[in-house]
Amino acid sequence: MQEDIKKVLYSQEDIHNVVVRLGKQLAVDYAGKNPLFICVLKGAIVFMTDLIRQIDEFVEIDFMDVSSYGNATVSSGEVKILKDLDTSVQGRDVVIVEDIVDTGATLHYLIKLLSTRQAASIKVVALMDKQAGRTIPVKADYVGFDVPNEFVVGYGLDYAERYRNLPYIGVLDEHVYTH
């Protein structure tokens, strides 16, 4: 598997440092608030499990799976729910946990949905922000890394469902796409 990685962008240590920083900040900002952390499946799962263990406060977790309609280059901004939350967000302080924000379509949809469901507050923590990909102006409140406009895998992120279990984040070698 690792021979498919052309370049390591963020090492395990880089990621750990960023997760500790984000966890500490969230612990301060959500002290005593019992926030609901919503993991956007599947990519954010590794990040979320590490992140919540850096927060010395009561938190609850839930999971949601969504998929964008259309192709990768043109985002319609329409998103379909594949798995909904088990928890009511009404009156809750929610924190959306994302692996990476690219076009912004997923986030835009989720923020709209959760505000329709009357969450008390909605913030976003994203491990990575790919600002060059943005077509819908939406911002993450907490960002781990600002990433270049490259397709990254590892630490939860996949290419064709592979590489999620890489402990670091890297860029795939071209031969993976072309065979």
Instruction: Give catalytic residues, as residue numbers.
Output: 102
Number of residues in contact with Mg ion under rule CB under 5 A: 4
**Window of 34-42, 61-69, 114-122, 126-134 that interacts with Mg ion by CB under 5 A:** 34-42
102 binds, among Mg ion, ligand 5GP, none (CB under 5 to 8 A by kind): ligand 5GP
Choose which of 35, 43, 154, 156 interacts with Mg ion (CB under 5 A).
Answer: 43
Q: Alpha-carbon distance 136 to 103, whole Å? A: 6
Q: How many CB atoms lie within 10 A of CB 61?
A: 15
Within the chain, residue ranges assigned H as helices are: 12-29, 45-52, 105-116, 174-178
Q: Which does 10 bind (CB under 5 to 8 A by kind): ligand 5GP, Mg ion, none?
A: none
Q: Residue 5 forms beta bridges with which residues? A: 172
Q: Which of 40, 96, 119, 153 binds Mg ion (CB under 5 A)?
A: 40
- The interface region with Mg ion, picked from 11-19, 31-39, 50-58, 98-106 by CB under 5 A, is 98-106
Binds 104: which of Mg ion, ligand 5GP, none (CB < 5-8 Å by kind): ligand 5GP
Q: What is the DSSP string of 13-53?
A: HHHHHHHHHHHHHHHHHTTTS--EEEEEETTTHHHHHHHHT
Separation CA 141–CA 12 (nearest Å): 23
Binding site for Mg ion (CB under 5 A): 40, 43, 99, 158
